[in-house]
Amino acid sequence: MVGAGKISGQYLDTVARLDGLRLTAVTDLDPARAKEAADRAGADVVGGVEELVARDDVDAVLNLTIPAVHAEVALAAIGAGRHVYGEKPLATTREEAAAVLAAARTAGVRVGSAPDTVLGTGTQTARKAVDDGLIGIPVAATAFMTTAGHEAWHPDPEFYYRPGGGPLLDMGPYYLSALVHLLGPVVKVTGAAAAPRAEREIGSGRRAGQRFAVEVDTHVTGILEHAGGALSTLIMSFDIHAAHLPRIEVHGTAGSLGVPDPNGFDGPVELFTAGSWQPLPVSAGYRGAGRGTGLADLAAAVAGDRPHLASAELAEHVLDVMLTLLDAAHEGRSLPVASRCERPAPVPLTG
């Protein structure tokens, strides 16, 4: 595991309870954090990425670094012949993402990427409802992520407001990955974006009260055209204090679906037909999943010689959609999305 920040605890919980995974080594820029994570898992602390990927007991690297070095760490692991599963986004530029995928193909290793939340029962039960025709032909979707910003709770929030961060690249992968699972890849985008505040103030921890500069757009809106013709409306914001907006809804010719938060693995799915909303029973996806389920699936896929579910190809497409949306916002026009990916395979009810 490279990186032992706040999210690492959730991965450690999942790795500890899943078969096929054992944490053997940890490195982090903060040795104390690395030691805490390693002690919790019974793993070794190592001095850096090069030392970690050279170990004989490392088959795969879990990349939990900040977005700006996701590609750098992935390429180091791939260069040593290791599989990689990383936090989102896959990279911060199209060129970095393409380099990671090309290196993996050359080395014959797998690359997987968060979010794996979309493999849980929430998104997958909704996807099965779409595939089963319960709402007819999909026409439109809405996806909203609204918060006043992560600086209120994160003790070191600057990276959220630097290139590779912002609400779209930070939280967009959850929502866009879910939309691609539900409606297929995106072919065209239109957008608008703004950064209303030049500075933010840290709200917790040892540095509470310190201010820092904002370097990215913090409120992004978009319209996405999917390959099948459905249109999705997107708002990703670090500038909204409170809202009654739903997380995701999908609307079709015969009904509507309420889809739970894609930043979680489960949650209620609701179907509107015949004049009323009704809950749908869980019918697809991994039960009891947690962060690291995608890594466990990658390990099982390697052993079983099958494609893994949280694929780098999906992550590359999602990154391209996000960057194209920002380009469209800055240029003031609609833009085609150059990349394509297959709609991911559905996940049957498991566990």
CATH value at residue 77: 3.40.50.720
Residue 40 lies in a domain: yes
- 133 and 45 in one domain? no
DSSP per-residue string spanning 21-79: ----EEB-SSHHHHHHHHHHHT-EE-SSHHHHHT-TT-SEEEE-S-GGGHHHHHHHHHH
Cβ proximity of 141 and 284 under 8 Å: no
Q: Of 114, 111, 116, 112, which is closest to residue 88 (Cα–Cα)?
A: 114
- 229 and 185 in one domain? yes
User: Alpha-carbon distance 341 to 114, whole Å?
Assistant: 16
- 212 and 268 in one domain? yes
Return the pLDDT at 17.
Answer: 93
Return the pLDDT at 244.
Answer: 95
**pLDDT tens digits, one per residue of 161-203:** 999 899 999 999 999 999 999 999 999 999 999 999 999 999 9
- 121 and 84 in one domain? no
Residue 300 lies in a domain: no
Return the pLDDT at 143.
Answer: 99
Q: Of 215, 240, 287, 232, which is closest to residue 68 (Cα–Cα)?
A: 215
Tell me what the mean pLDDT of segment 138-154 comes to. Answer: 97
Tell me what the mean pLDDT of segment 285-296 comes to. Answer: 97
Residue 22 lies in a domain: yes
Return the pLDDT at 151.
Answer: 97
Cβ proximity of 307 and 156 under 8 Å: no
Residue 231 lies in a domain: yes
**pLDDT tens digits, one per residue of 256-282:** 999 999 999 999 999 999 999 999 999
Return the pLDDT at 44.
Answer: 98
Cβ proximity of 144 and 195 under 8 Å: no
Residue 305 lies in a domain: no
Residue at a domain's end among 58, 80, 113: 113
**pLDDT tens digits, one per residue of 70-109:** 999 999 999 999 999 999 999 999 999 999 999 999 999 9
Residue at a domain's end among 96, 113, 130: 113
Residue at a domain's end among 113, 140, 163: 113
- 197 and 174 in one domain? yes
Residue linked to tokens 């025709």 = 133
- pLDDT category at 126 given cuts 50, 70, 90 is very high
Return the pLDDT at 210.
Answer: 97
Distance of CA 142 to the CA centre of its chain: 18
- 146 and 56 in one domain? no
- 136 and 196 in one domain? yes
- 266 and 130 in one domain? yes
Total number of domains in the chain? 2
Q: Which residues contact 110 (CB under 8 A, 6 or more apart)?
A: 60, 83, 84, 104, 298, 301, 302, 308
- 142 and 51 in one domain? no
User: Alpha-carbon distance 30 to 152, whole Å?
Assistant: 22
User: Alpha-carbon distance 140 to 225, whole Å?
Assistant: 9
- 325 and 276 in one domain? yes
DSSP-based three-state secondary structure for 194:
strand
Residue 188 lies in a domain: yes
Domain CATH code at residue 266:
3.30.360.10
Q: Is the pLDDT of residue 32 over 90?
A: yes
Mean predicted lDDT score pLDDT of the chain: 98
- Which range of residues forms the domain containing residue 207? 117-284+310-336
User: Alpha-carbon distance 200 to 212, whole Å?
Assistant: 6
Return the pLDDT at 25.
Answer: 99
113-142 burial by CB neighbour count: b if 16+ within 10 A, else e?
bbbbbbbbbbbbbbbbbbeeebbeebbbbb
- 320 and 254 in one domain? yes
User: Alpha-carbon distance 113 to 92, whole Å?
Assistant: 13
Residue 270 lies in a domain: yes
Return the pLDDT at 2.
Answer: 99
Helices 166-183/121-131 angle, 10° precision: 40
User: Alpha-carbon distance 326 to 336, whole Å?
Assistant: 12
Task: Report the percent of the chain where pLDDT is more than 70.
Answer: 100
- 138 and 88 in one domain? no
Cβ proximity of 213 and 161 under 8 Å: yes
Return the pLDDT at 19.
Answer: 86
Residue 20 lies in a domain: yes
